[in-house]
Homo-oligomer: A and B are copies of this chain.
């Protein structure tokens, strides 16, 4: 299929392509196409942009809008037929890859007491952030972890994992986060259903959490050689306490307040090779300055209320709301309360961006670091 015009990306700037179509060139372009080739100058300005162009748009998903739809799926489909009952977040700019932002997938999953999904494995890296309910658990390669609200759990690339809710629990909703779109884009995804549909729990419940129980304390015999954290679960209570302690001695970041990255305690590196996560605290009344950087972020409000300004657009949020910040979008956060702190959980692709040497960052220079709100 031959294009109508080839000079739509012209720029009249030294060092950029600026070739007008002509009958001779159009004939030449047609010949090139026949040979499965093209003329670089017809696309150079498009494929070499001056700065990152994100296909994603900023979106806020309100939990009060989504919750009933998530719960309704319990009645609409069975786990046997649906696999998992999940409402996924579908960024208008990324519908082709079912991503919430960039190459990151996210969904809200619901499970009833006594349900247990089948075990599977995939090359994508996954995480869960618990939103409500009691009795949820996850089994990862034979290690079972129990989960409460605002706990964070990982199920890394290649692990057998399955989720369930105890018989004496309540309906549970959590956010799944995965790099499925990234791994598909890398043309490297694999999927397998566990041959027994379920795996045996081979170790005491929460054993790895107990093994990695203190900051700077490493079990003698950990024997861990996997490229992801052996600490599968990061509990909310300990995380929040750490933030509060840190807030007492540190000003934090001008852009992010007091922020703790969840890391692999064995290496200090990210929890998984492609996806990272963090929890940050905004002090009462704190309003951070704006910056932008490469990498895509999906936030969930873990505590409190406030707003964020993303590329000039204001999004007001409260607990359990989810919003995204696309790559290279300016963003700043504000805590709306003068007395309570606010906490934002986030997961992102910075481990990928860093591994590829693609991280760049820029503070907003104008207006004392605050964006004019236009939307």
Out of B193, B210, B273, which one reaches A246, CB within 8 Å? B210
Cβ proximity bits A134-162 to B, threshold 8 Å, 1 near / 0 not: 00000000000000000000000110000
Min CB distance, A29 to chain B, in Å?
10
When distances are taken between beta carbons in the complex, the residues of chain B under 8 Å from A203 are 249
Given A190-B51, A248-B204, check contact A38 B215 (CB 8 Å): no
Do the beta carbons of B52 and A188 come within 8 Å of each other? yes
In the complex where A188-B360, A353-B188 touch, is A18 in contact with B81 (Cβ < 8 A)? yes
User: Please, how many angstroms separate the alpha-carbon atoms of A185 and B184 in the complex?
Assistant: 12
Interface stretch of the complex, out of A226-234, A305-313, A333-341: A226-234
Chain-B contact segment, one of A166-174, A258-266, A283-291, A365-373: A258-266
Minimal Cβ-Cβ distance residue in B for A193: B15
B-chain residues with CB within 8 Å of residue A97 when the two chains form the complex: 47
**A interface with B by C-beta (< 8 Å):** 13-19, 24-25, 28, 31-33, 35-41, 43-44, 46-56, 59, 61, 65-66, 69, 72-73, 76-77, 81-92, 97-98, 102-103, 105, 107, 118, 120, 122-124, 157-158, 180-194, 197, 203-204, 206-207, 210-221, 227, 229, 231, 234, 238-239, 241-242, 245-246, 248-250, 252-253, 256, 258-268, 271, 273-274, 278, 280, 294-296, 326-328, 352-353, 355-360
9 contacts between A and B (CB under 8 A): A35-B65, A38-B98, A39-B73, A48-B191, A123-B360, A187-B326, A210-B246, A213-B215, A216-B234
